[in-house]
Amino acid sequence: MRDAILCWQVCCKVIAKMGLPVVSRTALVVLGLLVAGALTQQLGLGSGLDRFLLDRSMAFNRAHHPVAVALDPVLVGIDEAFVQSIDEPLTLSHAYIARFLDAMVRAEPAVVGLDLALPEKGFETIRLTTQPGVDFHRLLTGALLRTTSTIPVVVAKIWDDEKGRFRDIHVDYATALAIHERPGEAHASAIFCNDPDGRIRIYPGRNCQPGASDVTFSGEMSAATGHRKDWAGLINYQLGAPFTYVSLQQVLAMEAAADVAGLQRLFKGKPVLLGTVLDDTDLLELPVALAAWRPGATRLPGVVAHAQTLRTMLNQGFIQPAPAIEAPLLSGVFALFWLRRSVVAKLLVFGAAALGLVWVCSQLLLGGVWLPPGAALLTGLAATAGRGALESWRNLRDKRRLTRTFSGYVSPSVMREIVAGGLGAHTKGLKLPVCVLFSDIRGFTTLSEQLAAEEVVALLNRYFARMTQVVHRHEGTVDKFIGDGLMAFFGAPNALPSPEKNAFAAAQEMLVSLAALNEELRSEGCPPVAIGIGLHSGSAVIGHIGSAERHAYTAIGDTVNMASRLESLCKELGYPVLCSQTVAAALGEACVLDPLGSQALKGHTPAKVFGWRPAVPPQPGTIALDPEIERKDNVHAS
């Protein structure tokens, strides 16, 4: 908690230098993330990630940055071949252990460690039929006395889970081990402390030994070579090559042959550990693969863990944690990923920063320091993801608000493109094939003179509401309202297979909808309304017209002018719908139009015009007329 408070103070100073108000919401969020990161570190919430990264860093450094050692333990293994070669069970292998110890007297190692349980009983009365005169107890006791008189011997003290205490050894063996006064203990704990995931990473010091003892098997072996310290830290699994072992059979064969030179070549001046290397006995889970005879395996005999612990003591020492303040400060730095809104860029930067931090921690590990990055990475991930979620929520909220606010100002297709980011003030105009529709109320000037201004506005609103719905149903875009006129186009911003067919179907339904409106007006004592519609298709420039501050999504070009001119001829030619030759050609024979010949257009060259009117007056509530029915019933069909 003290570290969290210190980090809070440091972060306040950093924010002050950045010119941010401490009371701002952003600063408070960053500070909150900093404190959360510090608490994550203090409470060990990122310890699982730290352990994973530690193991990966250890394995990476072993593979790419191997560290040689000056003094390496030698393993003597009790393997399957030895077990198969003897007649008696391992509990009665006194004679072989005695011969091994005699071999060590000749080999002159620095220290001998026995990672096996010496018997609690003497077995003096047991005799083998093959060796009836051998007293196993006397044989082993004599070997211990001879060895300890010249070489330090440390025997592993084995914990008994059932009894909840260390196993005793026969008093004669204990006496033989202690009879020669040497620094340290000859009978020491072989207990290891497992991390929550079951792996061995930490030196088994006072924190995990019964009675808070600091007497450990590897520690006493190290002390016998002159390396005694108050050991603590992480076992350095980066050191040395994978272990090999010398078979106990080989050692016994060399002892039987009195091969002193061979024994000294293997063991002289080196720490020697004797233990089982069987695949099913005394196995521990280690962070990395350490046994050359079991490549890739991390579940290995306990003697390998003792050997790596001793290797650490005799060389670079244990890996020490970084100063307590560094990890919370890192969390504070990664909490700054909350700042700035660019989520995609921030994710890329966070990924690069995370990889960089892991690499730095890996390099520090080579130097014997472990800086756990888990809390910082989790804080940065929370800051990045949290800000991303916040911005996503804000964008969604803004889009919904934008849709609600402007849905009445632009067509749904345009609104969808704006919300999706496809349309903006920067969008350049594009030349697209469209069909433009112009409609106008016939005699509106006279009608407006008969009604009050409020009534005129109400009528227009009712009329435009119906016509706009029709245009939208046929995937058209309402461009603008011009007095009593309406301009729409089909084919943009969303492309259509045949904009002309959509526009013509919309024109038909507009007449049906107008019939329904006129029925309502008659029932209210108001005069009916008549409209004219002009259709023309061709290329038009579609895009934003205006400035960045005020612009409109519209269509411009001769196609627009032509549609407007056609609409102005409706009253003169007596047709509610007029279209150009390009529209008639696109509609094809499925819809019969009346050819009206070449007509003079105001401000435009003459053009061929085609007219359409429904065969019977449109009935309220009906839909747009089917072109095939029109072919049969149109009184103007040719």
What integer pLDDT is reported at residue 12 of this predicted model? 53
Per-residue pLDDT tens digits for 350-378: 889 999 999 999 999 999 999 999 888 88
Confidence (pTM): 0.64
Element (H, E) at 90: none
Over residues 559-581, the mean pLDDT reads 94
pLDDT value at 627 more than 50: no
CA distance 203 to 306: 10
Which among 274, 264, 305, 306 has a CA at the least distance from the CA of 288? 305
What integer pLDDT is reported at residue 632 of this predicted model? 33
Please spell the DSSP secondary structure of 233-290, one letter per residue.
SB--TTBSPPB-EEEHHHHHHHHHTT-HHHHHHHHTTSEEEEEE--TTSSEEE-SS--
- What does the H/E/C string look like for 146-157? HHHCCCCEEEEE
Specify which of 5-9, 124-128, 203-207 reaches the highest per-range mean pLDDT: 203-207
User: Which class does domain 421-633 fall in?
Assistant: alpha beta
Q: Model confidence at 536, in pLDDT bands (50, 70, 90)? A: very high
Query: Could you give the C-alpha distances from 622 to 168, 229, 516, 635, in angstroms and in order?
Result: 102, 98, 9, 20
Q: Model confidence at 112, in pLDDT bands (50, 70, 90)? A: very high
What integer pLDDT is reported at residue 298 of this predicted model? 94
CA distance 81 to 94: 18
For the chain, give the percent of residues with pLDDT over 70: 81
Token pair in block for residue 470: 């029709």
Which among 505, 607, 622 has a CA at the least distance from the CA of 562? 607
**522 SS3 class:** helix
Token pair in block for residue 91: 């509990």
What integer pLDDT is reported at residue 203 of this predicted model? 94
Per-residue pLDDT tens digits for 420-443: 555 555 556 789 999 999 999 988
What integer pLDDT is reported at residue 26 of this predicted model? 60
CATH 3.30.70.1230 in the chain: give the residue spans: 421-633
For the chain, give the percent of residues with pLDDT over 90: 48
- 305 vs 618: which has the higher pLDDT: 305
Token pair in block for residue 70: 């000056």
Over residues 137-149, the mean pLDDT reads 88
CA distance 208 to 546: 77
CB distance 485 to 438 below 8 Å: yes
Please spell the DSSP secondary structure of 410-475, one letter per residue.
S-HHHHHHHHHTS--TTPPPEEEEEEEEEEEEETHHHHHHHS-HHHHHHHHHHHHHHHHHHHHHTT
Give the angle subtended at the CA of 307 by the CAs of 306 and 311, to the nearest 5°. Answer: 120
Element (H, E) at 343: helix 343-366
What integer pLDDT is reported at residue 340 of this predicted model? 72
CA distance 576 to 513: 13
Q: Which residues contact 363 (CB under 8 A, 6 or more apart)?
A: none
Please tell me the chain's helix, strand, coil percentages from 3-state DSSP, rounded to the nearest 5. Answer: 50, 20, 35
Q: How far apart are the first and last CA of the chain?
A: 94
